Amino acid sequence: STEADCFTYDPGFMSTASCQSTITYIDGDKGILRHRGYDIKDLAEKSDFLEVAYLLIYGELPSIEQYNNFTKQVAHHSLVNERLHYLFQTFCSSSHPMA
């Protein structure tokens, strides 16, 4: 339910796309969710976001060296150009985020 008390009803799963995945396994009836063979509960309790991202991208949990290199790459590519900072300052702070 949303703020407008609306929900999406998709009888027979007719309007929702689905596909086979070698990355994620889901069995909703049994409460099973696995990424690359790892139970989601174990990943949530023992790994951080970037470890799981690495797992999803490369198919295995990173070694310490791989993790350190990956975090450096992510940090480098997350830098925002100064011109974009100026652009964002022109946005009205009270606007809806999807406006």
The HSE-up count of residue 12 (CA atoms within 13 Å, CB side) is 1
C-alpha 85 chain-centroid distance: 24
C-alpha torsion angle, residues 27, 28, 31, 37 (rounded to 10): 30
> Quick check: is 95 in a domain?
no
> Quick check: is 40 in a domain?
yes
> How far is it, in rounded angstroms, from Cα 1 to Cα 13?
18
> Quick check: is 94 in a domain?
no
How many structural domains are present in the chain? Answer: 1
> Quick check: is 96 in a domain?
no
How many DSSP H helices and E strands does the chain contain? 4, 3
Q: Where are the alpha helices (DSSP H) in 23-63?
A: 40-46, 49-58
Model pLDDT for residues 39-86, shown as the tens digit of each residue: 999 999 999 999 999 999 999 999 999 999 999 999 999 988 999 989
> Quick check: is 4 in a domain?
no
> Quick check: is 6 in a domain?
no
Domain that residue 83 falls in: 11-89
Model pLDDT for residues 10-19, shown as the tens digit of each residue: 877 778 777 8
